Amino acid sequence: MNPDSRRRLLQIVPDIAAFAGWLTLAWYFKWETRDLVWSLWLSSLVVGYLTLLSALGAGLVIGVHALRQKEFPVKRRWAVALGGLAVGLFMLAFFSVHFCGFHAGHSVFLQGFFPIEGLPSDGFGRAFANPPLLWVLVFRHLVGPYGAFVVPALLAERRQVFGALEVAVRAVLGRDAAAAPSASGVRPLGKDGDRHPIGDFMGRPYLNVVRMHVLIFVFAGCHALKVNTFVVYAIVSVVYFFPWRALAGSLRGRVP
């Protein structure tokens, strides 16, 4: 096996581990459809929010690097730094309220169809515009029973979660990502006229929310039809965790 093939294979190993880990968790804990739905909701919230923080952190890394350049006028540094900080804090507040609020509203719907004992009837609805309260309630009611699911979900989405920071760090260090592909396979900064990859990472959590919605409707239909729950878990694992993109990249003979 040549070095390129070995590297591509090693990149897929965590995806395979996430695939196997998710099935193992479902089998070991004898999860029902309710558990599957809420574990996906939790992973969407945690992994998505981490991805947003990673993208904002990437902006901070690039901003600090730009301010430290000798060509940057010293007299303007404080003004630009304060302006950048204000923009960053606004983005953090906006996406925290918007993204977390979306999940809080979604939890009301889930609690009505797949109730969890001890969780208020409105789910996390009272935390709709209060992200800190939402996280407190999530740790109180969901992390214990479903926190283990976040680990394979984080493995499956690691390229998106940490990709923005990697793009920023590689750009700051001046590494040629085109000549030396990164460990996570993210595209180099602004390569070949692509959209700015950090912006892509900001949108990825919302795409995952859409996928979560589709899967939950599938689960609800299977639940109504009384389909064997483990079969549902296996299907979800294939859709959600199996490294289709990485496998396709390997078959094309390049790093995904």
Residue 26, domain member (yes or no): yes
Predicted local confidence at residue 30, as pLDDT? 79
Can you give the pLDDT at residue 42?
92
Assess if residue 5 is contained within a domain: no
Q: Is the dihedral of CA 80, 86, 88, 94 positive or negative?
A: negative
Residue 10 domain-assigned (yes or no): no
Residues of the chain with confidence (pLDDT) below 50 = 176-197, 254-256
> Own/partner pairs for 244-249, CB < 8 Å, 24+ apart?
246/8, 246/11, 246/12, 246/15, 246/185, 247/12, 249/8, 249/185
Q: What is the pLDDT of residue 4?
A: 64
User: Looking at the domain assignment, is residue 157 inside a domain?
Assistant: yes
Q: What is the pLDDT of residues 172-220, one digit of tens each?
A: 887 644 333 333 333 434 444 444 445 555 676 777 777 777 777 777 7
Residue 8 forms part of a structural domain = no
d(C-alpha 70, C-alpha 143), whole Å: 47
How many domains does one find in the chain?
1
- Residue 101 is part of which domain span? 15-251
- Quick check: is 7 in a domain? no
Is there a domain that residue 6 lies in?
A: no
Q: What is the pTM of this model?
A: 0.77
Whole-number pLDDT of residue 25: 77
- Asked whether residue 236 is assigned to any structural domain, the reply reads yes
